[in-house]
Amino acid sequence: MTLLHDAGPSLGLQDFRLLRDLVNRFCGIYFADDSAYIVERRLRERLRELGIDTFEEYYRYLQYHPRAEAELEAAAEVLTTNETYFFREAYQLRAFADEILPAVRARALSRGAKRLDIWSAGCSSGEEVYTIAMLIDSTGFFEGWDVRVFGNDISRRVLRKARSATYGRASFRAMIPDYERYFIDTEEGKQVHPRIRSMCHFGHLNLMNERRAAIVGRVDVTFCRNVLIYFDDASRRKVLDTIYQRLNRGGYLLLGHSESLLHSSTAFEIAQLTTDIAYRRPLPYTDLPPRRS
């Protein structure tokens, strides 16, 4: 049975399921049967590039070819959704700036460390990373601190864009005018100010590879927004476990507005903020304030 009959090789249901499961094991993204046409359309580009005529042959390539790993990355590249923009979900960013940053700052100071580490897991082309750095800078709370915002993504294409730090109009659709001061006009578009860029670091990472995720070190806050919605439950649980391991105790996790940890992790506690909820890695018992009797 074939699923579609337009130009290019057709993806039968059996091959679709084999490819879908391979991609899922590799990067966590899961395509239900009714989105087979998306996989067919997007992967045709890969078949063309490799001079492969059928999806059956492509599946064999992904399993046995010496370049299989690199090709899985290329497949993930075309199958991921990279939509992002500056100041996405402003109410959540406000809670981050007004409530989470002061809490994290107080905790770092209690440890005698003027160091702040934030991780954007699945950062796409970098707008989220630079937004976080602009928010941190604008609080004025962290002058003289060692501040690092790490952005990781499985797509090398979006990381190249992130490092260029230069953006067109679509990235500014939710821009807050106050923060325009952090951009410089160039011929290619608006470029993030060097001071903000110097706080931000980008690296390639497949979140399903928990051993490689150790390169991130320990962080105070993780943003993993609009990434796990494309994953199946088991992969989501796996990545949440990695995120938990990378968070300092008392550190925060922020998910996208339509996402929750329900059914995925019981390790985190809920941090009730004024306009939002976040998740938190619990403090060790000994660090908790004494109970009032």
Tell me which residues are annotated as active site.
42, 153
- Asked if 161 interacts with ligand SAM (CB under 6 A), we say no
Pick 99 or 153: Cβ nearer ligand SAM: 153
Beta bridge partners of 204: 153
Antiparallel, parallel or unpaired: β 166-167 and 189-192: antiparallel
Choose one: 32-40, 108-116, 223-231, 281-289; the region binding ligand SAM (CB under 6 A): 223-231
Asked if 219 touches ligand SAM (CB under 6 A), the answer is no
The sign of the dihedral angle between the CA atoms of 164, 167, 172, 176 is: positive
Distances in whole angstroms, Cα of residue 78 to Cα of each of 75, 155, 233: 5, 9, 22
CB of 256 to ligand SAM, least distance (A): 6
Phi, psi angles (nearest 5°) of residue 147: -110, 130
Beta carbons within 10 angstroms of residue 8's beta carbon: 14
**Which one of the spans 117-125, 136-144, 182-190, 260-268 is the region binding ligand SAM (CB under 6 A)?**
117-125
Mask: binding to ligand SAM, 231-260, rule CB under 6 A, as x and -? Answer: -------------------------x----
Binding to ligand SAM by residue 222, rule CB under 6 A? Answer: no
CB 232 within 8 A of CB 27: no
According to the binding rule CB under 6 A, does residue 131 interact with ligand SAM? no
Of 83-91, 173-181, 244-252, 271-279: span binding ligand SAM (CB under 6 A): 83-91
Interaction between residue 29 and ligand SAM (CB under 6 A): yes
CA distance 174 to 92: 13
Q: Does 24 bind ligand SAM (CB under 6 A)?
A: no
CB of 215 to ligand SAM, least distance (A): 13
- DSSP letter string, 272-283: E-SS-EEEEPPP
Starting at the earlier edge strand, list the strands of the sheet with 146-153. Answer: 200-204, 146-153, 115-121, 219-224, 247-255, 277-280, 269-272
CA distances (Å), origin 76, targets 105, 153, 206:
37, 11, 10
**Count of positions on this chain that bind ligand SAM (CB under 6 A):** 25
Which listed residue (15, 99, 128, 276) binds ligand SAM by CB under 6 A? 128
Closest CB 199 distance from ligand SAM, rounded Å = 17
Candidates 122, 8, 26; CA nearest to 76 is: 26
Is 105 an interacting residue with respect to ligand SAM (CB under 6 A)?
A: no
Check residue 81 for interaction with ligand SAM (CB under 6 A).
yes
* Torsion over CA: 88, 219, 74, 257 (sign): negative
Select the span of 94-102, 134-142, 148-156, 274-282 touching ligand SAM (CB under 6 A). 148-156
Q: Near ligand SAM by CB under 6 A, which window of 52-60, 97-105, 150-158, 173-181?
A: 150-158
DSSP designation for 65: S
Instruction: Tell me which residues touch ligand SAM (CB under 6 A).
Output: 27-29, 80-84, 88, 122-124, 128, 153-155, 158, 205-208, 225-227, 256
